[in-house]
Chains A and B, each alone.
Chain A
Amino acid sequence: NAGVTQTPKFQVLKTGQSMTLQCAQDMNHEYMSWYRQDPGMGLRLIHYSVGAGITDQGEVPNGYNVSRSTTEDFPLRLLSAAPSQTSVYFCASSYNLHEQYFGPGTRLTVT
């Protein structure tokens, strides 16, 4: 099993550009989540999904969109990148929203 995979590992965007961070898991987990990690702020929940076709907002959803068309994939879209979205993004999956398996992260810089 590959577990949770994320692409790309690194990305630099200019302000106003859009992009999609990819996340995939091969553990047949129903639950998937996106977090951002910033120094001194811990891990903050952006969006999460409890199954294909079902998504909900977390603590910091503004500027991000998600969709869940399959159990395996949960992409995160930045609609119009801003410097405040410079962060490390982690995708996680879980069979019950409790024990979460994290991917290796995507380091995003917005200039």
Chain B
Amino acid sequence: QQQVKQSPQSLIVQKGGISIINCAYENTAFDYFPWYQQFPGKGPALLIAIRPDVSEKKEGRFTISFNKSAKQFSLHIMDSQPGDSATYFCAANYQAGTALIFGKGTTLSVSS
């Protein structure tokens, strides 16, 4: 049973455009929703995270939008740059539960 569903699987965006990656979750006990960024040959690294008491969190060009009633959250990358080309994973868990449950990932390519 996949608890976190991520889409799209791959995404191509022009330099300067907006990249949008979506995730949906099933377990209403989840209380932490991070996004991880992974470059080829490297381990994933935390990019930005949100808790369900806020609807949006912004850090530089990266924004998480959170919709608790729809059980969805998304990552928006503004002014996308070639250096943003990487695989992005959404994830979720809750404090009393297991380690993070990850989505299947989105490969982003930003063309110059």
Contacts from A to B (Cβ < 8 Å)? 4, 31, 33, 35, 40-45, 48, 56, 58-59, 90, 92, 94, 96-105
Contact = CB atoms under 8 A, between A and B. Distances in A.
Contacts of A42: 6, 89, 102-105
A2 B42 CA distance: 15
A93 to B, nearest CB: 10
Q: Is the interface of A mostly helix, strand, loop or mixed?
A: strand
B99 interface: yes
Interface of B: 6, 9, 32, 34, 41-46, 49, 89, 93, 95, 97-105
Main secondary structure of the interface of B (DSSP, over half): loop
Contact of B49 (A4, A43, A97, A98): A98
Contact of B99 (A40, A97, A103, A104): A97
Contacts of A44: 102
Nearest to A90: B43
Nearest to A6: B43
B99 A45 contact: yes
